[in-house]
Amino acid sequence: MPSQLSIEEVGRVAHLARLELTDTEKQRLTGQLNDLLAQFSQLQEIDTTGIPPTSHPFLLRNVMREDVARPSLSRDKATQNAPEKRDGNFIVPQIVEG
């Protein structure tokens, strides 16, 4: 269990989360996250040996439906909220060089 998060580590997590934080934000979040981490240390008091994790309140098996075609959103509707689009496609910055 790490004791304290450094501002550099906060920057690394921000990149994982795809958030470009300002220095002020990084500073503030470092403090806030460390406060929360201190709270989480309470959980280490609990012996959870052999206790299964709960990922969902009730045991659900995989829910399947018949593999049949059915109507879905039209291309127009699916792209209606795109900030930038052309000919029914989403426009993004160039990803591959060349």
Q: For the CB of residue 24, give the shortest distance to another protein in the complex, in Å.
A: 11
d(CA 60, CA 19): 34
Residues near another protein (CB under 8 A) are 1-2, 5, 10, 13-22, 25, 28-29, 32-33, 35-36, 39-40, 42-44, 46, 48, 51-58, 60, 63, 65, 73, 77-84, 90, 92-95
Q: For the CB of residue 51, give the shortest distance to another protein in the complex, in Å.
A: 4
Cβ within 8 Å of residue 27, ≥6 positions away? 7
Q: For the CB of residue 8, give the shortest distance to another protein in the complex, in Å.
A: 13
d(CA 55, CA 75): 34
d(CA 18, CA 62): 31
Q: For the CB of residue 73, give the shortest distance to another protein in the complex, in Å.
A: 6
**In contact, 78 and 89? CB cutoff 8 Å:** no
